[in-house]
């Protein structure tokens, strides 16, 4: 492990634009990853930054997120060993769609909300062509790239506001972010080399899942380390509201309503970790289902619910736990990451076994 853990670090993770993404904390978290592990699970993968780090370290990597647009990044950059988007693939993606009438969701729902009509039409056409690519890995790369392109196109990189088109016509904002007026196709083509260059084979059978982690954990075996980065209840962004468009685009919902000014899909998907009424029970199940995994690392925030102290008590039933902290210098991603708040890392190891020696045993020892 000493020599191979740097073998794959020439491959760079394409920097995400995702509230709460851990790419800025990777070096800090890496210090607490044990050296004697072979299989690692990123249970709430989000941007896939930690899963990609595990892959770079030569570990067999299992990654999971209950939102499919995040799972597509996992398929594209963690599970995928070699397949990339070629010029032939671009010809397929950019061609006029044959089944155009079945792909009008973005144009019909989001024109005038996040995109002008021509850009919405381009997105629908592109989405219609993704299934024509020759493998699920190429398709996942296409999803990952086009979703990232949309976050580059929209001010603040998320879809929890209704000011996208207003900001796209603001000269001062355009000066700070030229992508506001660039065509999505151009942004996609600019990002493509970075994603293609991030594809590599670490000689392991890696896997990306799209499940609720409480359903997935009982099915997994022989995992050495689990990294947990659950939603920071009551302190961070509502990811389903902020990134609803990416999930809508990936799933291309036919059975959802689109509500309020941002046209978020309804009903939302259930995670168990983002509402106060559910989160205690969800954490209890999470720790119970992780019992057979020797090492746990869990990212958290000191402004979240339940408190750090409450979680420490819950974890202590199963693991010896120490708490590491890192202060936020700049705010981003909700009140939990405002300057002065702390990113918390629970470092959890197997409990030390305390052997009690009876008086009779001590007397027997003295005989020898």
Full-model pTM: 0.92
pLDDT tens-digit profile, the chain (368 residues):
444 556 899 999 999 888 878 989 999 999 999 999 999 999 999 999 999 999 999 999 999 999 999 999 999 999 999 999 999 999 999 999 998 889 999 999 999 999 999 999 999 999 999 999 999 999 999 999 999 999 999 989 999 999 999 999 999 999 999 999 999 999 999 999 999 999 999 999 999 999 999 999 999 999 999 999 999 998 877 899 999 999 999 999 988 999 999 999 999 999 999 999 999 999 999 999 999 999 999 999 999 999 999 999 999 999 999 999 998 655 454 444 555 578 999 999 999 875 555 555 555 555 54
CA–CA separation, 345 vs 297, rounded Å? 7
Please give the pLDDT value at position 339.
54
Q: What is the pLDDT of residue 353?
A: 73
Which positions ≥6 away from 108 have C-beta within 8 Å? Answer: none
Q: What share of the chain is helix, strand, coil (3-state, %, to 5)?
A: 45, 15, 40
Q: What CA–CA distance (Å, rounded) separates 109 from 337? A: 32
> What's the pLDDT at 329?
58
Contact 218, 33 (CB under 8 A): no
All domains of the chain in start order, with CATH: 4-350 (3.40.50.150)
Strand partners, 95: none
Q: Could you tell me which of 273, 211, 206, 188 has the C-alpha nearest to residue 239?
A: 273
Asked if 126 and 146 count as a contact pair (C-beta separation under 8 A), the reply is: yes
């Amino acid at each position: 492990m000493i020599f191979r853990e740097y073998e794959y670090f020439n491959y760079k993770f394409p920097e995400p634009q995702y509230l709460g993404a851990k790419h800025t904390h990777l070096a800090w978290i890496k210090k607490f990853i044990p050296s004697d592990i072979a299989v690692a699970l990123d249970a709430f993968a989000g941007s896939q930054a930690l899963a990609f780090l595990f892959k770079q370290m030569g570990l067999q990597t299992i990654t999971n997120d209950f939102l499919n647009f995040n799972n597509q990044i996992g398929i594209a950059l963690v599970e995928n060993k070699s397949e990339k988007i070629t010029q032939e693939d671009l010809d397929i993606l950019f061609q006029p769609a044959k089944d155009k009438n079945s792909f009008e969701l973005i144009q019909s729902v989001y024109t005038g909300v996040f995109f002008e009509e021509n850009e919405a039409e381009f997105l629908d056409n592109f989405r219609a062509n993704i299934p024509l690519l020759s493998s699920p890995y190429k398709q996942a790369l296409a999803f990952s790239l086009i979703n990232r392109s949309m976050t580059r196109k929209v001010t603040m990189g998320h879809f929890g506001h209704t000011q996208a088109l207003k900001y796209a016509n603001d000269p001062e904002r355009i000066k700070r972010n030229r992508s506001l007026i660039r065509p999505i196709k151009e942004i996609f083509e600019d990002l493509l080399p970075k994603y293609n260059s991030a594809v590599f084979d670490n000689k392991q059978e890696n896997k990306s899942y799209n499940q609720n982690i409480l359903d997935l954990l009982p099915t997994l075996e022989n995992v050495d380390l689990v990294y947990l980065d659950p939603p920071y209840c009551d302190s961070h962004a509502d990811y389903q509201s902020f990134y609803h468009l990416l999930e809508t685009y990936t799933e291309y919902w036919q059975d959802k309503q689109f509500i309020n000014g941002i046209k978020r899909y309804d009903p939302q998907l259930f995670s168990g970790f983002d509402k106060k009424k559910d989160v205690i029970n969800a954490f209890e199940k999470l720790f119970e289902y992780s019992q057979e995994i020797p090492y746990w690392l869990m990212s958290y925030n000191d402004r979240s619910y339940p408190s750090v102290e409450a979680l420490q008590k819950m974890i202590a039933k199963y693991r010896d736990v120490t708490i590491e902290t890192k202060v936020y210098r700049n705010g981003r991603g909700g009140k939990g990451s405002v300057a002065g708040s702390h990113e918390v890392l629970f470092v959890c190891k197997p409990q030390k076994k305390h052997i009690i020696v009876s008086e009779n045993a001590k007397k027997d020892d003295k005989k020898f």
